[in-house]
Structure 1
Amino acid sequence: MAVSSSPPPFPEQQPVSARLKALRERAGYSIRALAQDLGMGHKFSSYSFYEQKLKKEYLPVDLVRRLVPLLCERGDPPITASEVWALSGVIPGGSDLNDGIARATRAQAPRRNADGTITINEYDITPHAGSGAIVEETASGSGESHPSVAAWHMPRAFVENYVSDPSSLAIIRVSGNSMEPDFMAGDRVLVDTAHRVPSPDGVYVLWNGLGVVLKQLMLVPHSNPPRIRIISVNQTYPMDEVNAEDLVINGRVVGKWVWK
């Protein structure tokens, strides 16, 4: 007896991770090669997360913006810009495309102002406020990401003296006591959300399955596959160790405010 199978879903009905993988393969990229061209280095776990573990409806707009020039016009049939932008939930087509990108990035991207300042958004990372990434990454308005609760205006020259590219900066307020005394509850820290590879050793913002947390990361020497130690400054908390590819990193802490 013949058994009929359901036809595969239309591309727009597939999870965004599957659609991303299909476009990558159609473009003739391996995971490693695309991660390299995206500037994610030879450790491709940051990119592979989007194909293997992402549960959200759309990809981050900033990631899609970088994918467009890499994937367009490759493959058979050639990949179009509309196909790539659709991964972020932006509706393609003329001015609608530009308007959609602006709406999707308005809440997250720092803004350079005419008066020489830069506006950087502060995000609420308490567990009840959202999950996954720090910044609002979806264009769907689903409200799953952390909301911006304030906007900080700082001298642009001062910020760029310490961070060469401020376009992915965000501010978060520390919660909990696991990183005391280096980071106290209520401290505000500056995070480079584009830095999602655990190198060099330092303090990073992680998604631990329940919320967004600050932890110190250190590569275990000579480990193969690479393993990372997750360290709390407060020694009453245990140290953990995981494979680098299992980390979900939201950014690297590049500064903090110290009040006198």
Structure 2
Amino acid sequence: MDQVRRTILKRMQERGLNYKEVSLELGKNAAYMQQFMERNIPAKLKEDVRSRLSEILDLPEGDLGAPERSDGRSTDDKSKDIPEIDLVAGLGAGGFSALEQTSRNGITFAKEVVRDHWRLPEWMLARMGVKAAHVAAFPAQGDSMSPTIGDGDVVFIDTRHRVPSPDGVYALADEFGGVVVKRLEVTSRPGAETVTVKIISDNPRHSEREFTLDEIHIVGRYIGRFTV
């Protein structure tokens, strides 16, 4: 077994993961990882699979066989990139079309709707309690969350959080396929069969709405903003 596969197996054992679980996290069939690990040729992961696997196992892409760049650094540097989503490109009937894949580690966005990337200092990410791979950014639109968030502010969200626990500010897909930022408050009693959520705008000129949890699609929890 070559070094890449030994590294993968060791980390899976440390995290109590099996081949099937990792395969499904990758969006592949249940036997994908076992077949990869049992090959009689040196391990070589496709770029998209390697990038996703590095998030699942919390390993640098260099440890998974990422090639060296011309400046001598591994291409896993891109794992520090935070995608900024073009909301106009993400609009589409029937849901937010920018969402490509979701898992317990966050959301992967379709490349065609990522218009640029951000990089934040490690100390700032640590203060937010996230890694760059868990974060996405997009420009806020409108004044519904004023003064907390202004029109044109770039909002950063933690895409691992897709239920409103605890109550707070979240990004969610709207009925037109875009993304809005709202304050969410669970209004049903603990243990209720149907969970209801109040959607609140910080700007009092906008009315409140209430839905069941099944009727909303949370994209992530608000963790910060960039404003000019």
Q: Name the TM-score class by shorter chain.
A: 0.5 to 0.7
**CA gap 1:126/1:203 in 2 versus in 1, 3 angstroms:** farther
**CA-CA distance at 1:188 after TM superposition:** 0.6
The residue identity in structure 2 corresponding to 1:118 is: K
Structure 1: which 5+ residue stretches go unaligned? 1-64, 73-78
Q: Supply the RMSD in Å over aligned alpha carbons.
A: 4.0
Cα 1:235–1:105 change in 2 (3 A) is farther
Native 8 Å contact 1:189 1:255 kept in 2: yes
Provide the TM-score with structure 2 as the length reference.
Answer: 0.61
Alignment partner of 2:155 out of 172, 176, 189: 189
Whether 1:218 and 2:185 are equivalent positions in the alignment is: yes
Q: Which runs of 5+ in 2 are unaligned?
A: 1-11, 37-42, 55-59, 62-72, 103-108
Confirm whether residue 101 of structure 1 aligns to residue 70 of structure 2. Answer: no
| Aligned pair partner of 1:251 in 215, 220, 224 | 220
Alignment partner of 1:124 is 2:86:
yes
**Mapping for residues 166-185 of structure 1, pairs under 5 Å:** 166-185=132-151
Give how far 1:247 is off: 2.0
Instruction: Report matched runs for 1:83-98 at 5 Å.
Output: 84=24, 87-88=27-28, 92=32, 94=36, 97-98=45-46
The percentage of counterpart residues that share the same residue type is: 27
Q: 2:170 & 2:127 partners in 1: Cα distance?
A: 21
Alignment pair present for 1:155 and 2:121: yes
Contact in 1 for aligned 2:169/2:181 (Cα 8 Å): yes
**How many residues are matched?**
178
Q: How does 1:128-147 map to 2 (within 5 A)?
A: 129-130=91-92, 131-132=95-96, 136-137=100-101, 147=113
Change (3 A) 1:222 1:165: same
Q: CA deviation at 1:123?
A: 0.9
1:6-49 deviation per Cα after TM superposition (whole angstroms, max 9, x unaligned)? xxxxxxxxxxxxxxxxxxxxxxxxxxxxxxxxxxxxxxxxxxxx
State the Cα distance separating 1:118 from its structure 2 match. 3.4
Contact conserved, 2:81 with 2:133, CA < 8 A, in 1? no
Q: Separation in 2 of the partners of 1:182 and 1:212?
A: 17
* Aligned: 1:204 with 2:170: yes
Once the two structures are TM-superposed, the CA of residue 105 in structure 1 deviates from its matched residue by 8.3
| Counterpart contact for 1:137–1:145, Cα < 8 Å | no
Distance 1:134 1:250 in 2: 11
Q: Distance in 2 between matches of 1:222 and 1:232?
A: 22
Q: Which residue is equivalent to 2:198? A: 229
Shift of 1:204: 0.6
Amino acid at match of 2:81: T
Task: Tell me how far apart the structure 1 counterparts of residues 112 and 118 of structure 2 sit (CA, whole Å).
Answer: 17
In the aligned structure 2, how far is the partner of 1:80 from the partner of 1:242? 32
Please report the TM-score for the alignment, with normalisation by the length of structure 1.
Answer: 0.54
Alpha-carbon distance between aligned partners in 2 of 1:81 and 1:157, rounded to the nearest angstrom: 30
Q: Are the structure 2 counterparts of residues 81 and 258 from structure 1 closer, same or farther at C-alpha, using a change threshold of 3 Å? A: closer
Equivalent-residue separation in structure 1 for 2:208 and 2:168 (angstroms): 15
Deviation at 1:217, TM superposition (A): 0.2
The alpha carbon displacement at 1:103 in A equals 6.8
Q: Secondary structure at the match of 1:177?
A: coil
Which amino acid in 2 is paired with 1:172? F
The one-letter amino acid paired with 1:99 is E
SS in 1 for 2:170: strand
Structure whose residues are more often strand by fraction: 2
